[in-house]
Amino acid sequence: MSQDKPHFSTHNINDWEKAAAKSAPAGDLNKLNWVTPDGITVKPLYTAQDTVSLPYTNTLPGFAPFLRGPQASMYAVRPWTIRQYAGFSTAEESNAFYRKALAAGGQGVSVAFDLATHRGYDSDHPRVTGDVGKAGVAIDSVEDMKILFNEIPLAKVSVSMTMNGAVLPVLAGYVVAAEEQGVSQELLSGTIQNDILKEFMVRNTYIYPPEPSMKIIGDIIGYTAKHMPKFNSISISGYHMQEAGANQALELAFTLADGKEYVKTAIDSGLDVDAFAGRLSFFWAIGMNFYLEIAKMRAARLLWCRIMKGFNAKNPKSLMLRTHCQTSGWSLTEQDPYNNIVRTTVEAMAAVFGGTQSLHTNSFDEAIALPTEFSARIARNTQLIIQEETHITNVIDPWAGSYMMESLTQEMADKAWAIIEEVEAMGGMTKAVDSGWAKLKIEAAAAEKQARIDSGKDVIVGVNKYKLAKEDPIEILAIDNVRVRDGQIERLKQIKATRDTAKVQAALAALTASAESGEGNLLDLSIKAIRLRATVGEVSDALERVFGRHRADTQKVTGVYAAAYDDGENVGDTMEYWNALKADIAAFAEDHGRRPRVMISKLGQDGHDRGAKVVATAFADLGYDVDMGPLFQTPEECARQAIENDVHAVGVSTLAAGHKTLVPAIIAELKKQGADDIIVFVGGVIPRQDYDFLYEAGVKGIYGPGTPIPVSAKDVLEQIKKAVG
């Protein structure tokens, strides 16, 4: 038998096009293209020709422009850090979780704080009765911080803290807790998020207006550069932008533009760029667009290097982008929740292929509630399996040289750079945020995405396709908010009774004076106040006296949901349903002399408003009159506005587990104010186990994650018809 190598005919792209056209829809090869939400066309086939003119394909990891990774050896020597982002109501419970996670293979601690802490309120403040210990740990003073990190060696374990609004007292509490553990500031490693610009765009856990918030950031960068050389002073976050609806190009562009603004702020405060730039880090969301997420991370390093060269940074460490990633929370579904394990695994792989430095994998039950120990273990083991079993770590940037990936990386970079230039033309990111433009861009992308899901064009398995006939309930972690709050209030009383009040007042007065004059460093002064047992709320109030508390304008996009829904590409009978519902709403207006009117509200300190904004947009596009309540309303304020605006219904959007406290409270307030004819409906993250409780409290409709908005809009209309007779 001949051992000669077989000969194959050579073929060119024209040959392929002819062959592929035979099976393409209507013989049209363009129909095989995928146009991404970013406006990038992904082709079904890439060849060597696609990479011929690309400028950075022959670069190496560890060297500028760092497209292939910030470190020369990447995971071949040191895999990414496995983090578990968690905060379980009390410092004691959170501490127990961290210690278990570290013992089971976790390599760093990531702290989630409750919304009262984020917004600078102590647990005894009347505005936070439904928020204490929900969606994270309650921290009122350094005593809570000491419990949080009890028996965790802060000289060795890196700590990441997602904190922006109350960043001064929280970071100060961590520093003082470490001191009292015997660990000096220069040994501390980890990251404080400290990224306020994205808060004004999407997450809304701000306290002060943009200008003084930027002053705080400058002071933190300056203090940590001098006293905490191993600590990252800011984590510039795209995560929450994607969670709020941004596509990958928007997330990339706005995050880098935020970073650029922070660098400018630090330089303007008198710092040399190379003194602090090496301690800046980034934070990306990793969603289900597998290829795009890898391309985004590679493009991010390329563009950040370009930006920092523009600031004349000389040190290579100043030019390299380092990042933490977290798998998407938004992609998790309440329906058929075990599917989420697969989703998170795919997203974790994208983060690893993209070259992340640390990673948090979400638990499969996080669309419903805080993770249980069981679900957190699966999430952590997902990373351990990728690290220890797959051999993925042996090869640095394995996607390098892929015709598709190299092309996509460059396209992503070009797309994002065009947006960055648009921001620059507006005067930078602070101006783009202040004007509301950036926020509206993200909200338009969110509305478009939701319309694509609701109309069936984008498939979510178990939600709008391959649905289970019956959903089995899963075990969830329930938080006793009243117990937690009572415990925190007791500890606050004790602290205030045993401290030197005159010294505390003097330290707080020094903070207020510094805020007024612009002299002194606000983090330094906060540390001094926290040492004396000033509380988070007191430090925040001392600054609020001068800075004020930010109030956001409530705007909503219009026409975007309808445009995506009404483009003639809908699947099945969704268009018919849409048009029939619009006709029903028009008929109601004809019969009653006005359109059905709803108010979409956010109660408590939960600032995540993607769902609320998308619902408001879609309801308006269907023909409803829609009012938006401002963020952070109390039940009393919400009831008053609903009555003044003469609405038929109030829709409460809830994502932070406050529904069992706040929703009965709004129903009681409407009754108290003589308006129990106004119906209340609820949407968001609500465990099925709580549905009966809410119905008994008087709720007329509950719409969990995955409910198509037209379906909820029809149900609300029927409920309004019943109420008006």
For the chain, give the longest Cα–Cα distance: 98
**Residue from 38, 124, 144, 606 carrying the catalytic annotation:** 606
Residue 377's CB is within 10 A of a number of other CB atoms, namely 18
What ranges make up the beta strands (E) of 483-596? Answer: none
Q: Which two tokens mark 22?
A: 């035979």
CA dist., res. 658 & res. 690, Å (int): 11
Residue 105's CB is within 10 A of a number of other CB atoms, namely 15
Helix (H, G, I), strand (E, B) or coil at 622: helix
* Catalytic (active site) residue 602: yes
CA dist 347 to 11, 340, 342, Å?
Answer: 36, 10, 9
CA dist., res. 488 & res. 504, Å (int): 20
Element spanning 486, H or E: helix 481-498
Q: Which two tokens mark 676?
A: 């129990």
**Residue from 602, 613, 659, 660 carrying the catalytic annotation:** 602
Do β-strands 625-628 and 597-601 pair in parallel, antiparallel, or remain unpaired? parallel
**Residue from 556, 608, 648, 700 carrying the catalytic annotation:** 608
| 236 strand-pairing partners | 282
**Residue from 118, 215, 240, 449 carrying the catalytic annotation:** 240
Phi, psi angle pair for 299, to nearest 5°: -65, -35
Distance between first and last Cα of the chain: 90
* Catalytic (active site) residue 434: no
CA dist., res. 386 & res. 106, Å (int): 14
Do β-strands 158-161 and 81-86 pair in parallel, antiparallel, or remain unpaired? unpaired
* CB-CB contact of 653 with 625 (8 Å): no
CA dist., res. 641 & res. 599, Å (int): 9
* CB-CB contact of 696 with 575 (8 Å): no
**Residue from 56, 75, 85, 291 carrying the catalytic annotation:** 85
* Catalytic (active site) residue 85: yes
**Residue from 75, 121, 239, 291 carrying the catalytic annotation:** 239
* Catalytic (active site) residue 646: no
What one-letter code names the amino acid at 67?
A: L
Write out the catalytic residue numbers. Answer: 85, 239-240, 602, 606, 608
